Amino acid sequence: MNAAGADSGTPPFRLGVLVSGSGSNLQSIIDKLHNGPANIGIAVVVSDNNKAKGLMRAAEAGIPTAVFSMIDFDDRVEHDRAMAAELKRHEVDLVVLAGYMLLVTPGLLDSFPYKVINLHPALLPAFPGASPIEDTMDYGARITGVTVHFVDEGADTGPIILQEAVEIKYNDTVESLRGRIHEVEHRILPRAIELIASGRVRFDEENPRRVIVDEDRP
């Protein structure tokens, strides 16, 4: 049996998922993709936080885990190099930042060029950063949403793969809005992974900022 649990003869598409906290998005990948018919498997879950609930979710699903705490490293590049080595050891095809709250550096990106994606709870390029839901509400925006994008060296600046809008209601609280954003995230992050794994995501040769998604092709 291969890592995705499929016996199709095709090697599974192997994910490394990075989490810092609750891991509800990791759970959506486990429930919707891991060992499923799309031949996608989570090879390893990595966290910077040894108390992350996401690590427990991974363990419950029988997925290997690893923790790389910043305090054990001199700098972020060294930290990310160690993490990249672990992801390489697990022969990961795509790295998914699913609620991973540290900025990643060339220590990781150089080992996985165009193979790191991030989930962000706002419609980028609006409201990048660490508290986008609060920032969106404080600003008084009426529409926000979810972005899945490739990661480059900037903060939430990489080419966008999928986005979906979420309306902000007058009586929303941060928590009620977060709940509706999570519903969208749990749908579009697994979808983006599936699209990449099946070769339906590519860069426009004339403008590599533009990502072309062949949603309609099976």
User: Dihedrals φ, ψ of 118, to 5°?
Assistant: -130, 150
121 binds ligand GAR (CB under 6 A): yes
Distance CA 70, CA 43 (A): 22
Whether the Cβ atoms of residue 93 and residue 115 lie closer than 8 Å to each other? yes
Element (H or E) spanning 164, and its range?
strand 160-167
**Nearest distance, CB of residue 7 and ligand GAR, angstroms:** 30
The residue from 4, 98, 192, 201 that contacts ligand GAR (CB under 6 A) is 98
**Nearest distance, CB of residue 59 and ligand GAR, angstroms:** 16
Residue 16 CA: distances (Å) to CA of 63, 65, 93, 183, 197: 10, 10, 8, 22, 13
Of 6 and 108, nearer to ligand GAR (C-beta) is: 108
Neighbouring residues of 1: CB distance < 8 A, sequence distance ≥ 6: 7
Of 85 and 101, nearer to ligand GAR (C-beta) is: 101
25 binds ligand GAR (CB under 6 A): yes
Q: Which residue is nearest to ligand GAR (CB)?
A: 99
The residue from 24, 105, 163, 198 that contacts ligand GAR (CB under 6 A) is 24
How far out from the chain centre does Cα 56 lie? 18
| Piece of the chain touching ligand GAR by CB under 6 A; list 70-78, 84-92, 117-125, 196-204 | 117-125
Binding mask 41-80 toward ligand GAR (x if CB under 6 A, else -) reads ----------------------------------------
Neighbouring residues of 111: CB distance < 8 A, sequence distance ≥ 6: 81, 84, 87, 88
Binding mask 168-197 toward ligand GAR (x if CB under 6 A, else -) reads -----------------x------------
User: Dihedrals φ, ψ of 148, to 5°?
Assistant: -115, 125
Active-site residue, 186 included: no
**Nearest distance, CB of residue 202 and ligand GAR, angstroms:** 24
DSSP state letter for 149? E
Binding footprint of ligand GAR on the chain (CB under 6 A): 19, 21-25, 98-99, 119-121, 132, 185
Q: Please list the active-site residues.
A: 120
